[in-house]
């Protein structure tokens, strides 16, 4: 992404021309690389550094860090919708409530929360974490907002596998009363959220013009501290989340 100013603290004011083109491609399935998207999803769960190595290749060939293919977002939304329907079928048979759960999972959990996280990371990286360049002839680089959202999407997919898919199959155990469900629920949330922030860190650590990216690992420490506190206090995140949408579990 080419800079429009040399000021370190000032954020670019011109909209990224890639974004309108990106949105147009959402409705054109034939232009999406579905096979590569599933390859990325698999490796985000097994070898995430390989995915970000390919991000470097993308920068070299397309001159941008962000994806120009919306397939990853589209597939994530579809998978979230399917999982939300599965939860609704299992725990609530109301069609209206099913629509609400699907909307919450796709638009609030994934898109809205992701946009907030991406905007925060975009602002922090561009304002505080970019390396100072003493050479005035060096092209200044900035984190693209769309790339920050890509990082969120990458980080979200393994979390989706753990907290939406695996959680669905073991939810009868996790929402039960007792110490074992309480312990397992907290551990599964701890693993999912910690891995999310680890992938978030990898997404920014791969950018050569950023420094002190270990900042994005700090939330993992917070999670590690809060988990035993929640266990000792008897807080079961699975029961809490399920009761938010399916109150008959109370």
The whole-number pLDDT of residue 28 equals 67
Q: What pLDDT, on a 0 to 100 scale, did the predictor assign at position 248?
A: 58
Beta-bridge partner residues of 210: 130
Task: Place 3 in a pLDDT band, splitting at 50, 70 and 90.
Answer: very low
What pTM was computed for the model?
0.88
What's the average model confidence in pLDDT over 165-171? 96
Q: What percent of the chain has pLDDT over 90?
A: 70
Mean pLDDT value of segment 51-67 = 84
pLDDT computed for residue 57 by the predictor = 82
Q: Is 29's pLDDT higher than 80?
A: no
The 3-state secondary structure of the chain, one letter per residue: CCCCCCCCCCCCCCCCCHHHHHHHHHHCHHHCCHHHHHHHHHHHHHCHHHHHHHHHHHHHHHCCCCCCCCHHHHHHHHHHHHHHHHHHHHHCCCHHHHHHHHHHHHHHHHHHHHHHHHHHHHHHHHHHHECCCCCCCCCCCCCCHHHHHHHHHHHHHHHHHHHHHHHHHHHHHHCCCCHHHHHHHHHHHHHHHHHHHHHHHHHHHCCCCECCHHHHHHHHHHHHHHHHHHHHHCCCHHHHHHHHHCHHHC
Query: In the chain, pLDDT over 70 holds for what percent of residues?
Result: 84
- For residue 133, report the phi and psi dihedrals to the nearest 5 degrees: -115, 120
pLDDT over 80 (residue 30)? no
**Stretch 44-72: mean pLDDT:** 88
């Amino acid at each position: 992404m080419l800079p429009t100013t040399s000021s370190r603290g000032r954020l670019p004011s011109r909209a990224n021309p890639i974004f309108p083109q990106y949105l147009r491609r959402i409705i054109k399935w034939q232009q999406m690389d579905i096979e590569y998207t599933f390859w990325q999803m698999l490796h985000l769960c097994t070898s995430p550094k390989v995915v970000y190595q390919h991000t470097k290749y993308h920068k070299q060939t397309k001159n941008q860090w962000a994806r120009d293919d919306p397939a990853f977002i589209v597939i994530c939304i579809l998978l979230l919708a399917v999982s939300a329907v599965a939860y609704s079928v299992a725990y609530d048979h109301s069609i209206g409530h099913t629509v609400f759960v699907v909307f919450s999972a796709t638009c609030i959990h994934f898109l809205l929360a992701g946009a907030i996280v991406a905007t925060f990371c975009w602002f922090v990286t561009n304002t505080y974490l970019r390396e100072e360049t003493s050479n005035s002839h060096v092209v200044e680089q900035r984190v693209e907002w769309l790339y920050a959202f890509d990082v969120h999407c990458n980080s979200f997919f393994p979390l989706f596998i753990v907290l939406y898919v695996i959680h669905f199959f073991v939810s009868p155990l996790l929402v039960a009363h007792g110490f074992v469900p309480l312990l397992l629920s907290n551990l599964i949330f701890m693993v999912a959220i910690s891995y999310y922030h680890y992938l978030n860190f990898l997404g920014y650590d791969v950018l050569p013009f950023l420094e002190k990216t270990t900042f994005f690992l700090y939330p993992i420490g917070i999670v590690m501290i809060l988990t035993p506190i929640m266990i000792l206090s008897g807080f079961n995140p699975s029961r809490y989340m399920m009761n938010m949408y399916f109150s008959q579990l109370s």
